[in-house]
Structure 1
Amino acid sequence: MEKVILFGNQSVAKEIFFYLKYFSDYEVVGFTVDREYLESDSLFELPVSPFDIVETVFPPDKHKMFIAVGYVQNNKIRKERYFQSKEMGYQLINFISPKSIIYPGTMEGDNCKIGHYAVISPGAKIGNNVIIGNGCMIGHDVIIGDHCYFSGGVSVAGSVSIGSCSYLGTNSTIRNKVSIGKECVIGAGAIILENTEDRSVYLGEPATLLPISSDKLPLG
């Protein structure tokens, strides 16, 4: 089995740990976090290394990595650690649930998670470092930019484009042929019927545009 370390020690990392343990051929052998967030030197009886020395503890020629971080700071932390780990020489893995439906040619990137019972339709394209939660429905020819995060139950109709670093909350819905800007926040249950600008924030049903930029939200 190929050995993997997880960046993170919170809920997303714990979830990914169990997904990989029970639904993959990877063996998680440890965790790594930024030194200031090191709460313990072990998690699930596995070692936790500060990220600034992870290369010496878990050499990249012998270990792969998954950046298991949520939408903190509108996905920017996961984006930063994604690039830093690649610069260190780590190969980043994907986790695609065996309980999902996904067609050949859909996955174009790495460090992606496709949750249980998600359906990714033919012609869709998923970028790098994308988290798609359980039960999401992604329509045909949808383009998902890098570093996005979809909570469970998101529904995206056909021919939609979603800009990088956007967050879609639980059970939100995007109408067909809509373009979602970069770094947008679509709240839980929101229904989007028209294009959105970069960093826009929408809540409600139908969705209401809030007078705030997404980079001002206390996400995380």
Structure 2
Amino acid sequence: MTERLVLYGAGALASEIVDVLVRLRSAGADKELLGCLIDPTYEAPESFGGRPVFRDLGALSGDDSVRFVVALGDPGARARAVERLEAVGARFSSVIDPAVLIGASSSVAEGSVMLAHASVTAGSRLGRHVLVNPGCTIAHDNQIADFATLSPGVHLAGHVTVEAGAFLGTGACVIPGIRIGARAFVGAGSIVIRNVAPGHTVLGNPARVLRRG
């Protein structure tokens, strides 16, 4: 059965996902993009990626064949969008680029998005609505909780835990066994060698606390 998808959002991440869907269809995946859904107050063209832009969630919520993919890079915005969609009974799908490598003993939960040339090795678990950008490496036995965001080129060594809603900036590296707390923010290029408390912002090499949660 064809998977009929609606992207929630019409920005840069949505553009990347549209390209992934083209590659997935070329690889034989039976996915059809119906269009993008945006907040009525958000300015956007009437079409996106050759598909219509919807502004009324009610027009889509009654169709049980539709699956949503939340195309928002900010973890908090993504969580709020999912809450809004779940309130009307929406169901979700994951989008994983064909160039992503996922080990046989690892898993990715529904609603997650993984872009090209990311890799996950053995025994790792990615939660719901996780965003993994291009070139990320997730080593063995990692736990990535719901709504976490890994920016391009993030590298996680083994046994790393990233809690719900954490954001890791471009090129951040995390040594083995580290825990990144819920809603923490790791600045671009940071080298994380100590646990990061929930809600804290860290930056630098080695990463130091810039702002406490």
TM-score using structure 2 length: 0.91
SS at match of 1:3: strand
- How many residue pairs were aligned? 208
Gaps of 5+ in 2: none
What is the CA-CA distance between 1:103 and the residue it aligns to? 1.9
**Which one-letter code corresponds to 1:6 in the other structure?**
L
1:126-168: per-residue Cα shift (whole Å, max 9, x none)?
0010000111111111101110010111110101111110001
What is the CA-CA distance between 1:29 and the residue it aligns to? 1.3
**Which one-letter code corresponds to 1:32 in the other structure?**
L
Per the alignment, residue 175 of structure 2 pairs with: 175
Within 1, Cα distance between the matches of 2:50 and 2:139?
Answer: 40
Per the alignment, residue 63 of structure 1 pairs with: 66
Per the alignment, residue 156 of structure 2 pairs with: 156
What is the CA-CA distance between 1:90 and the residue it aligns to? 2.4
Per the alignment, residue 33 of structure 1 pairs with: 38
**Which one-letter code corresponds to 1:101 in the other structure?**
L
Within 2, Cα distance between the matches of 1:58 and 1:17?
Answer: 21
Which moved further from structure 2: 84-93 or 56-65? 56-65
Per the alignment, residue 11 of structure 1 pairs with: 12
Which residues in structure 2 correspond to 1:193-212 (within 5 Å)? Answer: 193-212=193-212
Change (3 A) 1:60 1:38: farther
**Which one-letter code corresponds to 2:71 in the other structure?**
A
Within 2, Cα distance between the matches of 1:211 and 1:66?
Answer: 32
TM-score using structure 1 length: 0.88
Within 2, Cα distance between the matches of 1:105 and 1:113?
Answer: 19
SS at match of 2:107: coil
Change (3 A) 1:34 1:105: farther
Change (3 A) 1:199 1:143: same
**Which one-letter code corresponds to 1:15 in the other structure?**
E
Which residues in structure 2 correspond to 1:124-143 (within 5 Å)? Answer: 124-143=124-143
Give yes or no for contact 1:21–1:28 (8 Å, CA) kept in 2.
no
Q: State the identity %.
A: 26
Which residues in structure 2 correspond to 1:78-157 (within 5 Å)? Answer: 78-157=78-157
1:59-116: per-residue Cα shift (whole Å, max 9, x none)?
4313111000011xxx111001112223322221111222111023522421111221
What is the root-mean-square deviation in Å for CA atoms of aligned residues?
A: 1.6
Change (3 A) 1:68 1:198: same
SS at match of 1:89: coil
Within 2, Cα distance between the matches of 1:168 and 1:55?
Answer: 34
Per the alignment, residue 216 of structure 1 pairs with: none
Give yes or no for contact 1:155–1:174 (8 Å, CA) kept in 2.
yes
Gaps of 5+ in 1: 214-220
Where has structure 1 moved over 4 Å in runs of 4 or more? none
Per the alignment, residue 3 of structure 2 pairs with: 2
Within 2, Cα distance between the matches of 1:56 and 1:114?
Answer: 28
SS at match of 2:41: helix
**Which one-letter code corresponds to 2:64 in the other structure?**
D
